[in-house]
Amino acid sequence: MHKSNPIEGVTETNCSQPMSVSADFMSEPLVMRPALPRNDNRLLGCVGQTLEMMPLFQNQASRENQALQTGNKINAFLDENVKPNEITFWNGVVTSDKVLSMKREINKYGQTPEQAIVSAAAQSNVIGLGDVHTATGNPARKLYADMMPRLAKVGVTDLAIELPRSLQPVFDEFKRTGKWNIPDDQARTDYRIMHNLIKYSPDLVNIFEQARRSGINIDCVDASGVNFPHIDDTVRNQAMAKNIEEKIRSSPRAKVAFMAGSYHLEQGQNQAETPTAVQLLRNDKLNVTTFQPQIGGARDKQSGYDPRQLVLFPLTEDVKQAVSVSTSAARTVGQLPLWMPGGNEPRDTMSNWNNVLIFP
């Protein structure tokens, strides 16, 4: 008979016979046992159940001693499955039992990124593909490039990118010829950005090339201006949403993959007064599914990463292969605050995006 456990989200058949969980994505096999929180004198989980099952004729001291021995076994399990850096990074925001819960959720609800993105594209008007602008050797960009042929097969017609609308003629010519013809006009900020992009971001250029080969149009949807990208975010989000919506409304078969920094794909309390591009699209009754990347190795490059890409990075060390997790199904993951050490108390959580892409 199943018995509900005090640790949220865990149900066990027998406390002494832990139920194994397949570890398709996490590197270590996990066991569905409840965690005894550190520095907590309360007897929870198996400890509490042990107390209940012990014969009443035993004295209280004996019963508590045996229960605490069980607790020590649970903590030994924690030592094997929860690493100190994970608890240190989250610094009280997430406890050891929450770390275990996230790992279990990743194994239970995880899909390959390819499966998740294709499924979302088939069911949505827009799929939001979060980008990490400053990362080198970016696995998310490689994934997006590799996905272009499959996205085309499920009906994606356009790739909307976070570049100013004024660059559209450059991409139109690239579509026709397969070559980049960018005027050498240093007075034009957009041209300078494009020259640097071609020179320093080959992974991004590869996405454009794969989109072209797959027959997907490339649409520059961001706001234009001499100060780009230093334009007010409200103006930029409005421009991106407007240009994407016009593309979709102009053709009944249009389906857009929108690649932009994760901030533009958020929807949460912090965006209530200044809605993002995705929120504006949803306000106009378009079906949007978003993906936000969490990239391994960020610990060594924190200064170059958007904090939103660092929230789950302690778990990336244990991920054997890239995985996509729904933040509505994986509730512990979805409820994780958008928090950084030393930062202010957040209002928003990882559920600001529909899915999280976790890369080793």
Helix (H) / strand (E) containing 4: strand 3-4
3-state DSSP call for residue 129? strand
- Give yes or no for residue 11 having a pLDDT over 70: no
- Give yes or no for residue 12 having a pLDDT over 50: no
Give the pLDDT score at 84. Answer: 59
| Cα–Cα distance for residue pair 209/292, rounded to 1 Å | 23
- 359 versus 14: which is more confidently predicted? 359
Domain definitions of the chain by residue range: 3-102, 113-295
293 DSSP β-pair partners: 357
Give the pLDDT score at 244. Answer: 98
For 14, phi and psi rounded to 5 degrees? Answer: -150, 125
pTM of the model: 0.76
Q: What is the mean pLDDT of residues 317-323?
A: 81
- Give yes or no for residue 262 having a pLDDT over 50: yes
pLDDT single digits (tens) 289-313: 999 998 765 444 444 555 556 677 6
3-state DSSP call for residue 126? strand
CATH number, span 113-295: 3.40.50.11550
Lowest mean per-residue pLDDT among 90-99, 252-261, 277-286: 90-99
pLDDT single digits (tens) 197-227: 999 899 999 999 999 999 999 999 999 987 8
- Give yes or no for residue 252 having a pLDDT over 80: yes
Give the pLDDT score at 187. Answer: 80
Q: Which of 2-11, 164-173, 334-343, 351-360 has the highest mean predicted lDDT (pLDDT)? A: 164-173
Integer angstrom CA distances of residue 205 from 9, 144, 172, 266, 303? 43, 11, 15, 25, 24
Q: How many CB atoms lie within 10 A of CB 131?
A: 25
Q: Which residue stretches of 251-350 are H helix?
A: 277-283, 313-316, 331-334
Query: Which amino acid is residue 269, in one-letter code?
Result: Q
